[in-house]
Amino acid sequence: MRLAVSGLSFAHGAGAQRLENIGFVLDPGEVLCVLGPNGAGKTTLLRCLIGALTPSGGSILLDGRPVASLSPRALARGMAYVPQATQPAFGHLVGEMVFMGRSPHLGRLDMPGRADRAIAMDCLDRVGLAHLAERPFAAISGGERQLCLLARALAQQARLLILDEPAASLDFGNQLRLLDLVAGLARDGLGILMVTHHPDHALHVGNRFIALRGGQMHGAGPVADLARPGYLSALYGRGIRIIRDADGTLACAPLFHSPQPESNHVP
């Protein structure tokens, strides 16, 4: 399933920052990372993609069909969205939250059947939370909630995953587990669009990236471009260097004691 976005624009309202002329393609088996400073428009972009916001211009095509023309059910079978971890509105159990991911596969009055429950439990197990199935969603930690929402999206069995800062509340071990999971899902042929504040994560599991700044495309390309000298410093407005260890693994580190970049010009 191919997601193709072209010339996308959106405004939250008069005077609010606009998203302008955003474009990219996400193919099956690819991890596309969305980077950019706070307030750059990353979540706004994701909410346009899933139909929660209506763009003022441009196109969003899923396998060539405008997402706006798809029924909620068809859209949910195509794309699964994992928002930033939220406070629970209702008193659901963790397992029930994950069953909800099966909704696009059920009839209007159907309850999840045995097969749906097995899929949901398997997804909960994949994120390491099987032992919390009977706990209230409201009574687990922020990181566990984030993993639960990921399990719900996996239970949806969509071909595209849209992840909004999936690692934001995770401990270091769970961040690595998440990255392994993302890489594995991409190997299974899913397309994954992942907003991240960790350029390292993009370098580890991403294929390509887009960078937003002030609602505009600041750059796009293969993730290796993020390691170009000065690129991340220009994107975030702080000195950042890339370290390459003996086996070729790249990591970002701060440059605390050097002059900070004054412009956001991308080299």
Nearest CA among 215, 157, 145, 223 for reference residue 185: 157
Of 89-108, which residues contact ligand ATP (CB under 6 A)? Answer: none
Residue 136 pairs in a beta bridge with 93
CB of 166 to ligand ATP, least distance (A): 13
3-class secondary structure, 95: helix
DSSP H helical segments within the chain, as ranges? Answer: 42-49, 72-78, 94-99, 114-126, 142-155, 172-187, 199-205, 231-236
Residue 85 CB, nearest approach to ligand ATP (Å): 12
Q: Is 166 in the site for ligand ATP (CB under 6 A)?
A: no
Give the nearest distance from C-beta 231 to ligand ATP in angstroms. Answer: 18
- Nearest alpha-carbon partner for 123 in 175, 185, 33: 185
Closest approach of ligand ATP to the CB of residue 236, in Å: 11
Q: Which residues make Cβ contacts (< 8 Å) with residue 15, sequence separation at least 6?
A: none
By CB under 6 A, the residues from 7 to 46 that bind ligand ATP are: 12-13, 16-17, 36, 38-44
Least separation in angstroms between residue 147's CB and ligand ATP is 19
Q: In the range 223-252, which residues lie near ligand ATP by CB under 6 A?
A: none
CA–CA distance, 259 with 255 (Å, rounded to integer): 9
Query: Smallest distance, Å, CB 20 to ligand ATP?
Result: 12
Size of the site for ligand ATP (CB under 6 A): 12
CB-nearer residue toward ligand ATP: 15 or 173:
15
Residue 108: CB partners within 8 Å, gap ≥ 6? none
DSSP-assigned letter for residue 73? H
Residue 42 or 201: the one with the smaller Cβ distance to ligand ATP is: 42
Is residue 85 a contact residue for ligand ATP (CB under 6 A)?
A: no
Rank residues 48 and 203 by Cβ distance to ligand ATP and give the closer one.
48
Positions touching ligand ATP (CB under 6 A) are 12-13, 16-17, 36, 38-44
